[in-house]
């Protein structure tokens, strides 16, 4: 079985501990991912300078080398600015964003989106930024990766305005209602299924059970939102097996079928090679 982790911040300092214990070493995290069948990891940006951190990660991974089967994890980079990076009065650096996203090595635009959980003071700035990201996504033909927290109605309404038939992408860490999920599908979006689907009282599993698998992709959002039984700990790509198993249980399919369907969905959306 092969999986694609479509959303992992493996480049963050959370994985670059100065300690020498094997439990905190990045090489162990990468090797565990390989053992779990994860050979493709997509790296969403938080800021424009996240790309420098991604390059550091990719260089480190290359030094580890391939496993006994000759396999090496393939990393793919995105460019974008997370909505929580904006404060009142901030402007999205549109020219810099467009320049980066035009590069062939950038496979997607994001992560971008809206976040009303921490503060709504910069909501207008977030919305202005999201519109710019949508414009770049349409012009480049690359998918957009959407963050959403406590802003489902605003996000969907904005996307309905921006969708002209060219916009494609994914609702990252989908936690919406059934109606919101159906609206997202109507907009041409895929749904990113992560660790929250394993949370007992989140209600996500019940919604996901009523939505089509052919529009779902798997993600970890590492180091955040680790699935049960690792909830509260630092998330890792290897833990995606727990997410896949939950999706398998919900839809009554073998784990291998879940791997095949979600991997092909990721390949189709992000134009990856298998």
How many alpha carbons fall within 13 Å on the CB side of residue 105?
Answer: 10
Average pLDDT of 164-188?
A: 98
DSSP conformational letter for 189:
E
Return the domain boundaries, the chain: 3-270
Residue 168 in contact with residue 144, Cβ under 8 Å? yes
Residue whose C-alpha is closest to residue 141's, from 114, 164, 117? 164
Q: Going by C-beta distance under 8 Å and a sequence separation of 6 or more, which residues neighbour residue 37?
A: 1, 2, 3, 241, 259
Tens-place pLDDT, residues 20-63: 554 458 888 999 999 999 989 999 999 999 999 999 999 988 88
**Lookup: tokens for 238:** 């290897």
Rounded CA-CA distance 41/33 in Å is 9
pTM: 0.95
Composition of the chain by helix, strand, coil, percent to 5: 45, 15, 40
**Lookup: tokens for 120:** 């709504």
Rounded CA-CA distance 235/43 in Å is 14
Look at domain 3-270 and name its CATH class: alpha beta
Tens-place pLDDT, residues 66-122: 555 557 899 999 999 999 999 999 999 999 999 999 999 999 999 999 999 999 999
Residues in the chain: 274
Residue 259 has phi, psi (to 5 degrees) of -60, -45
Pairing type for strands 38-43 and 216-218 reads unpaired
């Amino acid at each position: 079985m092969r999986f694609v982790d479509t959303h992992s911040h493996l480049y963050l300092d959370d994985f670059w501990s100065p300690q020498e214990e094997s439990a905190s070493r990045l090489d162990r995290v990468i090797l565990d991912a390989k053992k779990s069948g994860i050979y493709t990891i997509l790296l969403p940006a938080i800021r424009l300078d996240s790309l420098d951190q991604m390059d550091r990660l990719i260089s480190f991974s290359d030094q580890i080398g391939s496993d006994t089967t000759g396999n090496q994890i393939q990393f793919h980079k995105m460019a974008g600015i997370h909505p929580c990076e904006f404060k009142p009065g901030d402007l999205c650096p549109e020219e810099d964003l467009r320049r980066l996203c035009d590069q062939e090595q950038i496979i997607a635009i994001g992560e971008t989106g809206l976040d009303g959980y921490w503060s709504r003071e910069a909501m207008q700035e977030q919305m202005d930024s999201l519109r710019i990201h949508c414009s770049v996504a349409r012009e480049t033909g690359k998918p957009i990766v959407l963050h959403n927290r406590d802003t489902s109605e605003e996000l969907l309404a904005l996307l309905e305005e921006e969708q002209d038939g060219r916009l494609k992408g994914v609702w990252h860490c989908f936690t919406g209602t059934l109606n919101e999920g159906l609206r997202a599908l109507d907009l041409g979006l895929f749904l990113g299924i992560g660790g929250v689907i394993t949370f007992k009282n989140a209600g996500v599993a019940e919604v996901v059970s009523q939505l089509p698998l052919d529009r779902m992709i798997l993600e970890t959002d590492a180091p955040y939102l680790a699935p049960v039984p690792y909830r509260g700990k630092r998330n890792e790509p290897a833990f995606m097996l727990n997410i896949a198993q939950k999706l398998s249980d919900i839809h009554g399919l073998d784990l291998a079928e879940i791997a095949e369907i979600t991997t092909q969905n990721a390949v189709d959306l992000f134009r990856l090679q298998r």
